[in-house]
């Protein structure tokens, strides 16, 4: 709990230092649990794509997020296979590093990689995968452009760190 309060305080401080606009709260999905809950700057875009992932981006599109839940027959064992799919275009497949991670007490793994898109652009990717219950995996991805401004990267990392999962009771 102290960690969450520290992150939120840091997010508030960093945000107030980098912009004049307030944060807005986003839930995904809006009517079901589990759901992601995040605070993003008001100028960021948020939209659900054709396959149901929530896509978030800063105004320069140098920080992009994708949030989704995937069904799995064994959520606790689905991390590595799912990470291989999500990071299929990594420069050094399957990923550069894998370490323990958690979101809202749900423990899983964080994968980092440099990803090269079809157009040749490389980005730094961080993917956190955590089981939520026995049959769902929460997937949160952050893609940072190599041309991102330091202040924008700080805000993006704080948004990613403050991401929460609201689980069913």
Number of domains forming the structure of the chain: 1
Domain CATH for 103: 3.40.1000.10
Q: List beta partners, residue 126.
A: 112, 142
Residue 43 pLDDT > 90, yes or no? Answer: yes
Give the residue from 2, 35, 37, 40 showing the smallest Cα distance to 19.
Answer: 40
When pLDDT is averaged across residues 14-23 and rounded to a whole number, the result is: 59
Residue 130: partners with Cβ closer than 8 Å, 6 or more residues away: 101, 102, 103, 106, 107, 108, 109, 137, 138, 165
Q: pLDDT digit string (tens) for 96-145? A: 999 999 999 999 999 999 888 777 778 999 999 999 999 999 999 999 99
Contact 138, 78 (CB under 8 A): no
Give the residue from 144, 167, 142 showing the smallest Cα distance to 37.
Answer: 167
158 is in which domain, residue-wise? Answer: 2-166
The per-residue pLDDT for 167 is 87
Strand order in the sheet with 35-41: 23-28, 35-41, 164-166
């Amino acid at each position: 709990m102290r960690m969450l309060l520290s992150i939120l305080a840091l997010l508030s401080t960093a945000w107030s230092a980098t912009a004049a606009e307030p944060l807005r709260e986003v839930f995904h999905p809006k009517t079901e649990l589990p759901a992601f809950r995040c605070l993003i700057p008001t100028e960021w875009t948020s939209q659900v794509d054709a396959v149901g992932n929530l896509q978030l981006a800063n105004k320069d599109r140098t920080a992009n997020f994708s949030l989704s839940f995937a069904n799995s027959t064994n959520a606790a064992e689905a991390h590595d296979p799912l990470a291989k799919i999500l990071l299929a275009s990594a420069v050094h497949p399957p990923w550069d590093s894998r370490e323990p991670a958690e979101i809202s007490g749900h423990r899983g793994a964080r994968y980092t990689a440099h990803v090269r898109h079809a157009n040749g652009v490389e980005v730094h990717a961080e993917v956190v995968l955590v089981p939520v219950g026995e049959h769902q995996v929460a997937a949160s991805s952050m893609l940072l452009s190599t041309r991102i401004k330091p202040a924008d990267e700080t805000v993006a990392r704080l948004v990613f760190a403050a991401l929460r999962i609201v689980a069913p009771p």
